[in-house]
Chains A and B, each alone.
Chain A
Amino acid sequence: MANVLALIEISAEGGIANSAPAVIAAAAKLGTPVAVLAARPGEGTRFVARLGEFGAQQVFLVESDRAGAVLAAAQTAALESAARELSPSAVVAANSVESREAAARFAVRCGAGLLADAVDVMVTADGTPATSHSVFGGAYNVQATVPGRLSVITLRQGALEDRAPAATPEVTTVSLDVEAGNAAVIEQVHPTAADSSRPPLRGAAAVVSGGRGLGSKENFVLVEQLADALGAAVGASRAAVDAGYVPQSYQVGQTGVAVSPQLYVALGISGAIQHRAGMQTSKTIVAINKDEDAPIFDVADFGIVGDVFTVVPQLIEALGDRAKNAGALSAQAN
């Protein structure tokens, strides 16, 4: 099987980015997955075991003191170096701000084809890598390929659920003198404190989102309480983000995160077409809104015309009671 490069991103707080398991899994669906990583000298080997757990058959580690100092230059050079060495049939990178820059630059540099924002990958009958894309908020599914060229694929974060079986990777370490005269300089890194108590929005099995209907940042706590009762991630409409209830990274929709969870709960969200574009492919949609004509009800499997400030507390209490009863039952059974 042909080698397929999986670009590994190191996040602002210094660990392997959340996208890595899916990027490696996508590479494994297309061929032999090779994790490609740029790190400062001596700082990359500590990631190898983890990348093996994610399914990397090989780790191609490029050491450069430019990694983490400038944007994309070391990662692009790492892809170039790995491509020269391993003649891959495809390159997979997360469709994240950092990884897609390296993927895009690499594609231009070596005249490759670029398939952007894929939600799945597959191999066609003649062995060419192909991608599927969720277009216009999931209204269409488009399959594409770049015949006769190396395919560079950016993978939508949180979209691919497949995981590759763990492997014990072979490690190749290359030390590179990266040309970075023209790269943007990273002056400061501001990691956000990891909020480990809640699942991340991308790829979460359940999402509870709040909109302008919550009315204030203080009231938005209600959304978080329900999310915690359901073990869900927290999302928001753009109006809620604009009003400052939550940070921008919470935004679900056309210009925010596109989610496809088992359960999506919309609280005080009207369901503007741009919001629906980011959540309408969810398995089950629940909406609570005061306005019976709110468009969110057109896509809701269960809609409640009501006030979030009365319905949600009752729901949280009912969930708590059920959890208690279930606990009591299982205690009895023991």
Chain B
Amino acid sequence: MKILVMVKQVPDTEEERRLDLATGCLDRDGSERVADEINERALEVALRYKDGDKKGTEVVALAMGPADAAQALRKALSMGADSAVHVLDDALEGVDIVRTAEVLAAAAKRTGFDLVVAGNESTDGRGGVVPAMVAEHLGLPLLPSLNSVEIDEASVAGEAGVENGSLTVRASLPAVVSVTERAAEARFPSFKGIMTAKRKPLTSLSLSDLGLDAAASASVVLSISERPARTAGRKIHDDGNAGNELAEFLAAGRLI
């Protein structure tokens, strides 16, 4: 079984994240970049399957992004992925989701897989559409936003949380799944993992390696504005009457 895990490098949510107001692109100097936490969980789903079938399972991490996205892939290798693929090309700077999905699908096809595992939504975009678009390009089923995942040799199944309930869904392999925070708690890289990660293969692919040309994104940013930061208001220490004071505050603001 070959499992491909899509890993995105994103600005660390622990810090304030900034957009460049002129270009609409991420201000790269403004924030530390890390592997998106949801993708570590996606990787965990793949690694758990590998734990049960060490010899027969290969886990490959795939990222599209600028040079520093290699860090996210190294992290994946240190956690236990066997190899990594990095789609890296100057022509991909700042591309939109339509293009991103097309490129990731081409890279997945070239790498080969039985199962693709992605995060349900990335923390810098929240679009949650890339896995479905990749699945469509590949002509494959998608099991979206799985809270739990069961993989066997021939199929994948799980529980997808949807409006007013959940669905038990299944597809035969090959397939694409996306997982939620509920799916798995990611492991920490071991010391051995960190040491061996350096020797594991990390392949870079350009657009021409994928047989794609350097098309521009179709979507255009019209404007960007920054919302003024919130400021702290009144703060009181409870002296035994704070509940009543809060009721006053809510009444004065017509909030009750």
Contacts and interface: CB of A to CB of B under 8 A. Distances in A.
Nearest to B244: A318
A116 B136 contact: no
Given A185-B170, A322-B251, A301 B163 contact: no
A17 interface: yes
A289 B42 CA distance: 34
A105 B166 contact: no
B163 A96 contact: yes
Contact of A139 (B133, B218, B227): B227
Contacts of B247: 315, 318-319, 322
A234 interface: no
Contacts of B141: 71, 182-184
Contacts of B127: 95, 114, 116-117, 154
B150 to A, nearest CB: 12
B121 interface: yes
B212 interface: no
B165 A135 contact: no
Contacts of B161: 97, 248-249
Contacts of B219: 113-115, 144-146
Interface string B109-150: 000000000001101111111101101110111111101000
B71 interface: no
B234 A301 contact: yes
Given A19-B163, A138-B227, A248 B250 contact: no
Interface in A9-26: 9, 11-13, 15, 17-19
Contacts of B101: 104, 108
Given A19-B163, A101-B132, A184-B170, A303 B243 contact: no
Given A114-B129, A142-B223, A306 B255 contact: no
B235 A147 contact: no
A130 interface: yes
Contacts of A9: 163
A113 B141 CA distance: 22
A141 interface: yes
A194 interface: yes
Interface residues of B, number: 85
B180 interface: yes
A145 B220 contact: yes
A184 B175 CA distance: 9
Contact of A192 (B124, B165, B230): B165
A311 interface: yes
Most buried by B among A105, A190, A302: A302
Contacts of A117: 125-128
Contacts of B14: 273-274
A124 interface: yes
Nearest to A183: B141
B165 A273 contact: no
A103 B136 CA distance: 11
Interface in B1-42: 13-19, 24, 37-38
B154 interface: no
Given A116-B125, A116-B129, A255-B181, A300 B233 contact: yes
Interface string B175-196: 1000011100000000000000
Nearest to B225: A141
Interface stretch (A35-43, A49-57, A280-288): A280-288
Nearest to A122: B222
A183 B139 CA distance: 9
Contacts of A143: 221-224
Contacts of B125: 116-117
B246 A100 contact: no
Contact of B165 (A12, A103, A154): A12
Contact of B253 (A186, A284, A312): A284
Interface of B: 13-19, 24, 37-38, 96-98, 101, 120-121, 123-130, 132-133, 135-137, 139-145, 147, 157, 160-171, 175, 180-182, 218-227, 230, 232-238, 241-247, 249-251, 253, 255-256
Interface of A: 9, 11-13, 15, 17-19, 71-72, 95-98, 100-101, 103-105, 107-109, 113-117, 124, 130, 135-136, 138-149, 154, 182-192, 194, 206, 230, 238, 248-249, 254-255, 262-263, 273-274, 277, 280-281, 284-286, 288, 292, 297-307, 310-319, 322
Given A104-B132, A254-B123, A304-B245, 6 more contacts: A12-B163, A17-B163, A145-B220, A184-B175, A186-B167, A248-B161
